[in-house]
Structure 1
Amino acid sequence: MARAGLTTERLAQAGAELADEVGFDQVTVSALARRFDVQVASLYSHVKSSADLKARIAVVALQELAELGAEALAGRARRDALIALANVYRDYAHEHPGRYAAARFNPASASADFLAAGGRHAEMTRAILRGYDLGEPAQTDAIRLLGSVFHGYVSLELAGSFSHSKPDSSESWPRILDALDTLLSDWTSS
């Protein structure tokens, strides 16, 4: 029987909080059971395994990011939209490093919720690119480029890779976004 008050959603949210505290890689069903001061077995009526828990945390993170992205993009186009979405990812990563790592998680078996949440991110990026009037295959190439730059930069920044040199990474970020805007504005479909 399920313990009163414990639900799959509550465990996923608590797992997301735990990921921010200890790192996504350290989140397990056992660690979550300790957080709730319950036996591990009592959580298995809600989650199948640590991998299932991580996939559910990934959905939480992807949904949160999608909501923030949608708010940031409202009424914006082209450069303004590009910068807004990029800053959502960067700010979220700094505020919620464990959840941000969860958003990059690739489960062995993706649930419908996971696919829907991930799909929202692709659609937000496509919405930005419509302002640049990119057709296929340029649009897919541009989505991959933006994802690589946004997530690559943020991952390196979080790892401290830019801390050894000047200027500060916060000064380079807007320059990189300006360069992306210029590239997208001049992109030719070939």
Structure 2
Amino acid sequence: MTTRTVPGPRERLLAAAKELTYEQGVSVGVDALLKRANVARRSLYEHFGGKDGLITEVLRVSADEDEAAYRRAMLAAGDDPRGRLLAIFDWLDGVIQEPDFRGCRYLAAELALAPDHPAHAVTRRYRERVHDLLATELRALGHPRPDPAAAQLFLLIDGALAVGATRPAAHPAAAARQLADHVIGG
């Protein structure tokens, strides 16, 4: 006999918030979140202290998943640091072409949330971790200015994701890859 585990209210709230905040933005209403998760309002407050806590936790979980996706894309490119860095843009090109792509959830949240929202600490930390990932590859490549170059690569990533949300047919990740090649040097 097998038993099927049904996700609890916390997991359902996280899943609903992850979907709805990406589809509609972080300003999505609490009632829509509760309805999608099929939970009572009390569950939101018991597990997250309110919507701000839920949004913060969704971004934290998503950041871990997205950082892992960057690492997988780089790992799949092999041992060459240059190839690993450029592989990010090839991977992003595929991400942008997905039919449900809506842009960068972190940039959208940063723009929409009040300056004192606790989720900003999560997005800041996520950006630091991805920057460090890029800088580590640039150091391995022997780049003379790895930290500024990592910031430039991150700017290209942000730009590709932003343009990809509005004009995916322009293949902004491919254009960003060409610029990244110049930043990386050779």
TM-score bracket, shorter-length normalisation: 0.7 to 0.9
> Are 2:94 and 1:77 aligned?
no
Secondary structure, counterpart of 1:86 in structure 2: helix
8 Å CA contact 2:161–2:173 kept in 1: the answer is no
Secondary structure, counterpart of 1:25 in structure 2: coil
Cα-to-partner distance string for 1:55-94 (whole Å, 9 max, x where unaligned)? 1121122111111111111234333212222234444455
**Offset of residue 10 of structure 1:** 4.0
In 1, Cα distance between equivalents of 2:34 and 2:83: 44
8 Å CA contact 1:29–1:49 kept in 2: the answer is no
Q: Where do 1:98-109 residues align within 5 Å? A: 101-104=104-107, 105-106=109-110, 108-109=117-118
In 1, Cα distance between equivalents of 2:135 and 2:58: 25
Counterpart residue identity of residue 19, structure 2: E
Cα-to-partner distance string for 1:133-166 (whole Å, 9 max, x where unaligned)? 124xx22211221111111122022123x7xxxx
Residue from 147, 151, 155 that aligns with 1:144: 151
% of aligned pairs identical? 20
Secondary structure, counterpart of 2:141 in structure 1: coil
> Are 2:143 and 1:134 aligned?
yes
Q: 1:10 to 1:120 in 2, by over 3 A?
A: farther
| Map of 1:32 onto structure 2 | 33
| Map of 1:12 onto structure 2 | 14
Q: Which structure 1 residue ranges, 5 or more long, are not aligned?
A: 163-167
- What RMSD over aligned residues (CA atoms) do the two structures have, in Å? 3.1
In 1, Cα distance between equivalents of 2:84 and 2:28: 34
8 Å CA contact 2:70–2:88 kept in 1: the answer is yes
8 Å CA contact 1:122–1:143 kept in 2: the answer is yes
**Offset of residue 111 of structure 1:** 9.2
Counterpart residue identity of residue 59, structure 1: R
Counterpart residue identity of residue 183, structure 2: L
**Offset of residue 175 of structure 1:** 4.5
Q: Under a length normalisation based on structure 1, what TM-score does the superposition of the two structures give? A: 0.71
Q: How many residues align?
A: 171
In 1, Cα distance between equivalents of 2:94 and 2:181: 19
Structure with a larger share of its residues in helix: 2
In 2, Cα distance between equivalents of 1:35 and 1:56: 17
8 Å CA contact 2:59–2:123 kept in 1: the answer is yes
8 Å CA contact 2:131–2:150 kept in 1: the answer is yes
Q: Which structure 2 residue ranges, 5 or more long, are not aligned?
A: 1-6
Counterpart residue identity of residue 44, structure 2: L
Q: Under a length normalisation based on structure 2, what TM-score does the superposition of the two structures give? A: 0.72
Counterpart residue identity of residue 157, structure 2: F
Q: 1:159 to 1:113 in 2, by over 3 A?
A: closer
Residue from 146, 153, 164 that aligns with 1:157: 164
